[in-house]
Amino acid sequence: MIKDITIGQYFPGNSVIHRMDPRMKLVLTIVYIVIIFLCKNFWALGLMLLSLVVMCALSGVPAKVILKSIKPIAIIITFTAILNIFYVRTGEPLLDWHFIHITTGGVFTAVFMIIRICALVVASSLLTYTTSPTQITDGIERLFSPLKFMRGGVHTLAMMMTIALRFIPTLIDEFEKITNAQKARGADLETGNLVERAKALIPVLVPLFITSFRRAYELAFAMECRCYHGAEGRTRMKIMKYSKLDAFGFLFILFATGGVIALNMFFRHVV
């Protein structure tokens, strides 16, 4: 059923990657992406790619599932690759035909870019595959909590995210129910051109919005009755604690960074 599709493509499991602290995972992902862009040659990039493969293997998420995350951005990748192939004019010429000039430099840059983008996407997907949306939200909130001036804002944002996640299945249910009710009144939602179809959705969307506002209003009441008063003086039941796993993760990325810097310096030539 449609409501069983979870947002953020979480892939439940109990691997070492799953068990890592969401805060650490967030930081590692960001650091990883930064380093990817600091890689200046294939050796450095290869090292990062290798560490990513290791992480993926550790996560226990099937390779097929991981590779699926690249699919939606295939067009962007292709486009970037083509641009690089045709417009980069360094290195040896490979093909000179009328206005098309392809050089070794162009091909190298294109391949480099493809790997970079794929690594970036796979790394962030690995985060969402191994961390539930709730954990990510919590992680963001707690990561920022030491910053006093930002705390209120981040808390509000995180609370909003949590409530949105909580209500998405409810609203999908509601949408199905109202759709059925209007269909029973003869509403035709399936035929006609785009404009007609959009118009036909009004009888579904209006009640959906109104119900959502009512829900929001009632939820606000219920939250107040449970002593909600923002971030001020609020504690959490689940404590996030960095474990040995997180230390390993940290060391792992530290070595990778060091490796990348070393490789960047050792193989001076760019690409």
Partner 1 sequence: MSILKTDNLTYKYSVGTPFEVTALDSVSLEVEKGELVAVIGHTGSGKSTLIQHFNGLLKPTEGSVLVDGQDIWESKKTLREARFKVGLCFQYPEYQLFEETVFADIAFGPKNMKLPEEEIKERVLRAAEFTGVTKEMLEKSPFDLSGGEKRRVAIAGVMAMEPEILILDEPTSGLDPKGRDTILRLIRDYRDNTGSTVMIVSHSMEDVAKIATKVLVMNRATVMSYDTVPETYRHAEELLSVGLDVPQITKIFMELKRRGLPVRDDVYTVEQAVVEIDRLRKEGVRV
Partner 2 sequence: MESILKFDDVYFSYDEETDETQGEVHWAVSALSLEVKRGDFIAVLGHNGSGKSTLAKLSNAILIPDKGEVTVKGISTKDEDRTLEIRKHVGMVFQNPDNQIVATVVEEDVAFGPENLGLEPAEIRERVDDALKAVGMYEFRENEPHNLSGGQKQRVAIAGILAMRPECIVLDESTAMLDPKGRREVLETVRKLHDEFGMAVVFITHYMDEAAMADRVIVMEQGKVLFDGAPCDVFQNVDELRRVGLDVPQATELALSLGLPGKILTLSECTDAIVDSLK
Our CB check for partner 2 shows the closer of 150 and 223 to be 223
Residues 17 and 55 sit within 8 Å (Cβ to Cβ): yes
Q: Which does 228 bind (CB under 5 to 8 A by kind): partner 1, partner 2, none?
A: partner 2
d(CA 51, CA 31): 13
Beta strand spans in 129-214 (E): none
DSSP tag of 73: G
Select from 57, 63, 76, 222 the one that contacts partner 2 (CB under 8 A).
222
DSSP string, 99-128: TEEEEHHHHHHHHHHHHHHHHHHHHHHHHH
Q: Which does 238 bind (CB under 5 to 8 A by kind): partner 1, partner 2, none?
A: partner 2
Q: Minimum Å distance from CB 179 to partner 2? A: 18
Select from 2, 74, 100, 184 the one that contacts partner 1 (CB under 8 A).
184
188: helix, strand or coil: coil
Q: Which does 234 bind (CB under 5 to 8 A by kind): partner 1, partner 2, none?
A: partner 2
Q: Minimum Å distance from CB 1 to partner 2? A: 11
Q: Minimum Å distance from CB 183 to partner 1? A: 6
d(CA 104, CA 109): 9
Q: Which residues of 144-155 are buried (b: 16+ CB within 10 A; e: fewer)?
A: beeeeeebeebb
For residues 165 to 204, the per-residue mask of contacts with partner 2, x marking binding by CB under 8 A and - elsewhere, is xx--xx--x-------------------------------
Site residues (CB under 8 A) for partner 2? 3, 132-134, 162-163, 165-166, 169-170, 173, 214-215, 218-219, 221-229, 233-239
